[in-house]
Amino acid sequence: MTERLRVGLVSFAHVHAPGLANTLGALDRVEFTGIYDDDEKRGRGAASAHATRWHPTLDRLLATSDAIVIASNNADHRRYTEAAAKARVHVLCEKPLATTTADAMAMIDACRSAGVQLGTAFPVRSSPAVMALKEAIAAGSLGRIRAIRATNPGQYPGSWFGDKRQAGGGSAMDHTVHAADAIRWLIGDEFSRVQAEFGSFIYGLDVEDCGVMTCDLAGGAFASIDCSWSRPQTFPTWGGVTLHVVGEKGTVDIDVFRQALTHYDDTAGRTRLVGWGDDLTARMVAGFVDAILARRPVPISGEDGLRALEVAIAGYRSAETKRPVAISDVRA
Amino acid sequence: MPLRVGVLGTGFAGSMHAHSALAIDGAQVVAVAAVPLTDATSLAKECGARVASAEEICAADDIDLVVVATPTYLHAQHAIAAARAGKHVFCEKPLARTLADAEAMVRAADEARVTLAVGHVVRFFPEYRQAKELLDAGTLGKPAIVTMTRGNFAVGSARGWYLDEDKSGGVVLDLMLHDLDTVRWWFGEPSRIYAKRFKGSGGLEYALATIRYDERPIVQIEASWAEHSGFRTGFELRGDRGMLVHDSRAASPIALQSPSGPAGPAMMATPTLHETPYLVQLRDLFARIARGEPPLVDGPEGLRSLALGLAVIRSADTGEVVNWKAPQ
């Protein structure tokens, strides 16, 4: 019998939690140890819906797990991660890694001191199209990459996502990091400077729901990130991730979630897209689990999460000061 | 008496305007100029016009309006010569390569009391007009975030003057200027600008600009000479009550393929509108001139859009945010 990793799920607050629970229940190499949630009702409901155990305390879940996946609100990532590290349990944390760089660094330190691994949930890296693009860039087929325009606009998720205290910000905190991580990973370079324009234009929130960031990379390329909750309620899907990549020898367009049926649904009275592409969440979690089992470094680290978070944090400072902000200025 | 038109330049724009003028009742094309002159022969023949130099056309007695469709850096000298000779001027965008040139053109037209119109043709594209109508009707609610894109192959690989920043202003003054003008038309004057661009080999160039309005919206504009499969436009206009999406590639009602690959117009015409926006633009101008009315996009308006394009270039060159104040 193959070795299995015992993995628990902490909190069902995040919109990605159901997908993560499905994955944990389905992966061969995972023994899904159950769910802990600060909100007992939500936790019990989720555990029952996903045919797994509900744990009344975090310690009980940690005691039966080798690793946890954290799907709480953003501000709680640090305390769950530190508790897991203390219990010598590995962590795969939803994005953004934290709401401040100080929290993210504390999480990285806690895991490193405890000898456990910290991973960040960036499923875009698992897209076959994005992986193919990375290979083509590495092989030099596109020539030097000069510019990338990334978009990650979505519908407003509601609940705590618009609450600065729990989320750390609005759409820019929610959406910048996916694109920032994909760009870093694709061209193997680091962000150096960020300019951002944010606005709260659509939902009457205290946080931004519209944002565009324009960034320099250390190696000379530039990139922009649309980090908005700009998809209308009538939009046929939650949102999407696109990349327009301009190289000296070629231009590539990627629409990560393009593989979808258009469903004109008279029963529901609406049109929606039904994705049929690979399950990126499952591949991302499997990559994390396999690395832990093989005692290798996880493919997407806490440092990766921190680097992407720095881009968002620099964006907030730029939007406030109306000037470009160097990444080195938001590093502690 | 018909409006007698002289056309300077036989590239995409000159040829398009000459054919448009031909199709307008009450207008005739009497002369066509190119450098070298022989380049004007075939277009002149199609129009039943004579071949003449730009200088002759600007000075000729039998011409009422001069279409300036020469390379950008030559617009000023040609438009000013035509205006001083008492001719109306229809000038391709950008109005000029520099603000000083643009100001001199506006002044020359004022002094000569002739019309100076600028070819910001996107204001005549039906998809952009529809968007403007929906915006003005309030159907979209208040504008929130807008993205616009315009791309083409590296045109400088075919026409070398585009590669010279001092002559053309690159992809910003060629392509992005359309969307910068559109943004002014849709939303008025912005408050600040931040932009990036690169130039690569073989005429490759790409630019991104964020145009911020005091209150709203945030606009991002992409302009590319790295769209190797050809011309493309698009926009997403998100208001707080809805969103409009345009993608020219998804909007073509006809597509042609052949065993030998993409055959293009050599095999059959692929029209998408009965009348091109270029024709509608020119007819509108001629009618306004006949009625003694100002053009839809006059010299000062073209100058303001040019100034916004130059501000984008300044931001890209300096790496800093440029605060915008429209020239009066």
User: What is the tens place of the pLDDT at every residue in A168-200?
Assistant: 999 999 999 999 999 999 999 999 999 999 999
pLDDT at residue B253 in the model: 87
With CB atoms and an 8 Å threshold, state whether B228 touches A222: no
With CB atoms and an 8 Å threshold, state whether A214 touches B321: no
H/E/C letters for each residue in chain B?
CCEEEEEECCCHHHHHHHHHHHCCCCEEEEEEECCCHHHHHHHHHHHCCEECCHHHHHHCCCCCEEEECCCHHHHHHHHHHHHHCCCEEEEECCCCCCHHHHHHHHHHHHHHCCCEEEECHHHHCHHHHHHHHHHHHCCCCCEEEEEEEEECCCHHHCCHHHHCHHHHCHHHHHHHHHHHHHHHHHHCCCCEEEEEEEECHHHCEEEEEEEECCCCCEEEEEEECCCCCCCEEEEEEEECCEEEEEEHHHCCCCCCCECCECCHHHCCCCCCCCCCHHHHHHHHHHHHHHHCCCCCCEHHHHHHHHHHHHHHHHHHHHCCCEECCCCC
Q: Which residues of A touch B218 (CB under 8 A)?
A: 197-199, 210-212
With CB atoms and an 8 Å threshold, state whether A212 touches B220: yes
pTM listed for this prediction? 0.96
CA A253/CA A262 separation, integer angstroms? 21
User: How large a percentage of chain A has pLDDT more than 90?
Assistant: 98
Q: Is B153 in CB contact (< 8 Å) with chain A?
A: no
With CB atoms and an 8 Å threshold, state whether A147 touches B208: yes
pLDDT at residue B262 in the model: 61
Q: Which residues of A touch B210 (CB under 8 A)?
A: 195, 197, 212, 214, 224
- In CATH, what is the architecture of A5-123? 3-Layer(aba) Sandwich (3.40)
Mean pLDDT rounded to a whole number for chain A = 97
Residue range A53-68: mean pLDDT, rounded: 98
Residues B241, B318: one domain? Answer: yes
Q: What is the DSSP string of A80-96?
A: HHHHHHHTT-EEEEPSS
Residue B262 falls inside a structural domain: yes
Residues of chain A with a CB closer than 8 angstroms to some CB in chain B: 146-147, 149, 151, 193, 195, 197-199, 201-202, 209-212, 214, 216, 222, 224, 226, 228, 230-232, 234-235, 244, 246, 248, 250-251, 322-324
Q: Is B220 in CB contact (< 8 Å) with chain A?
A: yes
Last residue of a domain, one of B75, B92, B114: B114
Q: Which residue of A has its CA nearest to B321?
A: A323
Please write the tens of the pLDDT for every residue from A209-248.
999 999 999 999 999 999 999 999 999 999 999 999 999 9
Please write the tens of the pLDDT for every residue from A270-326.
999 999 999 999 999 999 999 999 999 999 999 999 999 999 999 999 999 999 999
Domain that holds residue B13: 3-114
Q: Is B243 in CB contact (< 8 Å) with chain A?
A: yes
What is the least distance, in Å, from the CA of B227 to any CA of chain A? 7
What is the least distance, in Å, from the CA of A81 to any CA of chain B? 36
Count of the separate structural domains present in chain B: 2
Smallest Cβ distance to A149: which of B142, B208, B238? B208
pLDDT at residue B264 in the model: 57
Structural domain spans, chain A = 5-123, 124-280+310-330
Q: Which residues of B touch A322 (CB under 8 A)?
A: 192, 321
pLDDT at residue B263 in the model: 55
pLDDT at A1 over 60: no
Residue B239 falls inside a structural domain: yes
- Residue of A187, A195, A318 for testing the chain B interface, max B β-carbons within 10 Å: A195
What is the least distance, in Å, from the CA of A201 to any CA of chain B? 5
Please write the tens of the pLDDT for every residue from A111-162.
999 999 999 999 999 999 999 999 999 999 999 999 999 999 999 999 999 9
- Residue of A201, A228, A253 for testing the chain B interface, max B β-carbons within 10 Å: A201
Residue B291 falls inside a structural domain: no
Last residue of a domain, one of B83, B114, B145: B114
Query: In this structure, what CATH number is given to the domain that contains residue B34?
Result: 3.40.50.720
Residues B35, B148: one domain? Answer: no
pLDDT at residue B270 in the model: 66
Smallest Cβ distance to A210: which of B145, B196, B200? B145
**CATH no., domain A124-280+310-330:** 3.30.360.10
Last residue of a domain, one of B96, B114, B132: B114
The pLDDT tens digits along chain B (328 residues) read 799 999 999 999 999 999 999 999 999 999 999 999 999 999 999 999 999 999 999 999 999 999 999 999 999 999 999 999 999 999 999 999 999 999 999 999 999 999 999 999 999 999 999 999 999 999 999 999 999 999 999 988 878 899 999 999 999 999 999 999 999 999 999 999 999 999 999 999 999 999 999 999 999 999 999 999 999 999 999 999 999 999 998 888 888 887 776 655 566 666 789 999 999 999 999 999 999 999 999 999 999 999 999 999 999 999 999 999 999 8
